[in-house]
Amino acid sequence: MTVALHPRGLLRMLSRMGNILSKFSIEGKVGTIGLLVFILMAIFAPLFAIHPPAKITGDSLEPPGADHLLGTDELGMDIWSQICYGARMSLVIGLAVACIAGFGGGALGILAGYRGGSVDQALMRVIDVTMALPSFPLLIVISAFLGPSILGIIIILVLFSWAKPARIARSQTLSVKSQAYITAARHFGGKPFYILKRHIFPEILPILIVSLIGISSYAIIAEAGLAFLGLGDPTSKSWGMMLNYAVHFSAIYFTPYWLWWLVPPLLALIILLLCLAFISRDLERVLDPKLRDRRGEG
Amino acid sequence: MLKKDTKAIIYRFLITLFIILAINFFLPRMMPGDPFSTTSSTIQGEDVIVLTEEQRMYYRNYYGLDKPVPEQFVTYLENLATGDLGKSIYYKMPVREVIQIHLPWTMLIVISATILSTVLGVMLGTISARNRKKNTDRLMMSGLIAFAEIPSFLLGLILLLIFSVHLRIFPLAGAFTPFANYGSILDQAGDIAWHAFLPVLTLSFAQVTVVYLLTRNTLITVTSKDYIRTARAKGLGEKAVWTRHALRNALLPVVTRTGFVIGMLMGGAVLIESVFCYPGIGLTLQTAVIGRDYPLIQGILLVVAISILLCNLIVDQVYRRLDPRVVV
């Protein structure tokens, strides 16, 4: 973080990111642009949307027109602005869960791998059990228990997604730890924390970042799924919530309303997830060529 | 060596099971609200019967909710040991019967989807491996991987919109035509298959890619082996080499993987059943959660969790038995 704040460090980081981007395939570039559009849409939602998302600004179930770009829902709220503000919800949940679970789990994995012994054993057992739990049915019950709050949803999603990055970080740490240069650094008097920060963490960061994107997709899907089942925050305007309201509107399938009420959030979710998938695939290829060889692709 | 491994696996299975039992018991009890503050008639808000304070106390007492929680837990474990899952508050009948009514529907779509996705995945994987590095392979690869990124309930909604709403080929909801008079058992089976078609297709989509990639990559590894060259040198035809030598070996991991697939599908079925209003235990779980029906939530969670765990356990064992090269 301190590196990023320094102007020169920031410049170096940007050029490195540009470097990675230039190696992306067309799909990856499309995905990156798509994700940027979603991020801009989320940040500047009030500019993109003419109407506030949770106010009644038109008649009930107006078809798309000049005033309401994508029409209105049954309460007369603007669909397009709900899509814009809904991007905030999905992106915030994806980012928050990915950062907490990815870096938290990653840190635990690095520590366990570096320390070894009983700490490592204990962590591995917890990871095994966490990964064996049937996650979606439990998610439903736990989120019903925690009540419809964004914070609650973030917490449970973190609880179900930290194990994978932890396991990856642990096995990577184990293989890096045995390298000669780490032993050399230790013999030169490097303290454990210094070695972790200076040598091990940078080695593991690329693979951790790839798993971060995977976790954020998972979190976005899970939030949308829970909201779709009616377990989201009913006052929030998330895409999953929109799907839930639309699907539970009586006789929606016998009217043309689904065209502008159900299709937009559906497409928004799918496009966002595809963008993330394209980025993740290219990032994996660029950052870790070894990974591709191991999978026997190409 | 193997024996020690097996022991560790069973040990882990039991720990996981216990954790599920504990979550299963304590969580619903910590949920906000109680089943009798909303009453239990219907979920969508029609026909709400407001209970008087006196009636509420009667029901709390009747279902044992007024006793201290530890006492309830002991009773719960005791009943579980005898196979008694309690009584559903919403359906007003034993949980076991509720599950018995709805589980077959879930089993029907999960098992059909497992078979469909395995067969389709192996076929596509073989085609792809045979055309390796050609456009067919590349196209199938990126197409299927992109498809796998779309969560299945969204895919289900799309299929529902296209085939049931727009084209009106398939039904919108349910597992059979209500109040239908079937001429023969064949008609009935046809009707059930017709209703199950879209849910099964949706469930299969997500898994096809897994099987496809597994088949394709194993086939590619296997076909570079010496014994394939030997088979070709013997003068065997391409077809015989692929079916008798390559595919046979490549199928080993695929077949054992199907067990994992069943587990994944059981979890994914909840959302799919909600999309298609398919009356399996997933939809029942959703109803139970919204209606705060503790015993039913616990019963379903237990059944789902145990079936997923059992599938993984069995597959793990079979996998080791069949393919000693693989260290899981």
Domain ranges of chain A: 25-297
DSSP A24: -
Residue B2: what pLDDT? 52
Q: How far apart are CA B152 and CA A175, in angstroms?
A: 36
* CB-based contacts of B284, cutoff 8 Å, min separation 6: B98, B99, B102, B296, B300
Q: What percent of chain B has pLDDT over 70?
A: 85
* CB-based contacts of B3, cutoff 8 Å, min separation 6: none
Q: Which two tokens stand for residue B71?
A: 């006492």
Q: How far apart are CA A35 and CA A46, in angstroms?
A: 18
Q: pLDDT for B45-58, tens place per residue? A: 444 555 667 777 77
Q: How far apart are CA B320 and CA B312, in angstroms?
A: 12
* CB-based contacts of A21, cutoff 8 Å, min separation 6: A28, A29, A32
Q: Which two tokens stand for residue A104?
A: 């938290």
State the average pLDDT for chain B: 79
Q: pLDDT for A57-80, tens place per residue? A: 777 777 787 777 787 777 778 888
Q: In terms of residues, how long is chain B?
A: 328
3-state secondary structure of B94: strand
Mean pLDDT of the A262-276 span? 91
Which residues from A are below 8 Å from B154, CB to CB? 224, 266, 269-270
Q: How far apart are CA A16 and CA B173, in angstroms?
A: 52
Q: What percent of chain B has pLDDT over 90?
A: 5
pTM assigned to the model = 0.83
Q: Which two tokens stand for residue A159?
A: 């609880």
User: A247 pLDDT exceeds 60?
Assistant: yes
Nearest of B251, B246, B220 to residue B128 by alpha carbon: B220
Quick count: other Cβ atoms within 10 Å of Cβ B9? 17
Q: Cβ–Cβ of B271/A229 closer than 8 Å?
A: yes
pLDDT tier at B141, thresholds 50, 70, 90:
confident
Q: pLDDT for A184-198, tens place per residue? A: 888 888 888 888 888
Burial class (CB in 10 A: 0-12, 13-18, 19+), A287: middle
For chain A, say whether B263 makes contact (Cβ under 8 Å): yes
- Of A3-7, B74-78, B173-177, B223-227, where does the model show the most confidence? B223-227
Name the CATH topology of A25-297.
MetI-like fold (1.10.3720)
Q: Which amino acid, residue A134?
A: P
Q: Which two tokens stand for residue B189?
A: 């089976």
Residue B315: in which H helix or E strand, if any?
helix B294-322
Q: Cβ–Cβ of A134/B263 closer than 8 Å?
A: yes
Q: What percent of chain A has pLDDT over 90?
A: 19
3-state secondary structure of A17: helix
- Of B98-107, B188-197, B258-267, where does the model show the most confidence? B98-107
Q: pLDDT for A100-154, tens place per residue? A: 999 999 999 998 988 888 888 888 888 888 877 777 888 887 877 777 788 888 8
In the stretch 29-48 of chain B, residues with CB closer than 8 A to chain A read: 30-32, 44
Q: Taking CA atoms, what residue in B is nearest to A218?
A: B151
The rounded radius of gyration (Å) of the Cα atoms in chain A is: 22
Mean pLDDT of the B92-114 span? 89
Q: Are B322 and B256 in contact (CB under 8 A)?
A: yes
Alpha-helix runs per DSSP H in A44-116: 45-48, 79-115
Q: pLDDT for B23-75, tens place per residue? A: 777 776 666 556 565 544 444 444 455 566 777 777 667 666 677 777 777 87
User: B226 pLDDT exceeds 70?
Assistant: yes
Start-to-end CA distance of chain A, whole Å, equals: 37
Residue A100: what pLDDT? 95
Q: Are B227 and B241 in contact (CB under 8 A)?
A: no
Q: Cβ–Cβ of B286/A128 closer than 8 Å?
A: no
Q: pLDDT for B152-162, tens place per residue? A: 888 898 998 88
Nearest of A264, A222, A225, A271 to residue A244 by alpha carbon: A225
Q: How far apart are CA B248 and CA B243, in angstroms?
A: 7
Q: Cβ–Cβ of A132/B312 closer than 8 Å?
A: yes
| A69 compared with B130, residue with greater pLDDT | B130
A85 φ, ψ (degrees, to nearest 5): -70, -30
ipTM of the complex as predicted: 0.81
Mean pLDDT of the A166-186 span? 87
Q: How far apart are CA A283 and CA A95, in angstroms?
A: 17
Q: Cβ–Cβ of A27/B142 closer than 8 Å?
A: yes
Q: Tell me the torsion sign for CA atoms B48, B49, B54, B57.
A: negative
Among all chains, which residue has been given the structure tokens 């929606």? A252
What are the CA-CA distances from residue B218 to residues A233, B128, B140 (Å)?
A: 45, 12, 16
Among all chains, which residue has been given the structure tokens 């994978």? A164
Counting Cα atoms < 13 Å in the Cβ hemisphere of B152 gives 25
Q: Interface of chain A against chain B, CB under 8 Å?
A: 27, 125, 128-129, 132-138, 140-142, 144-145, 147, 217, 221, 224-225, 228-231, 243, 247-248, 253, 258, 262-263, 266, 269-270, 273-274, 276-277, 281, 295-297
Which residues from B are below 8 Å from A231, CB to CB? 289
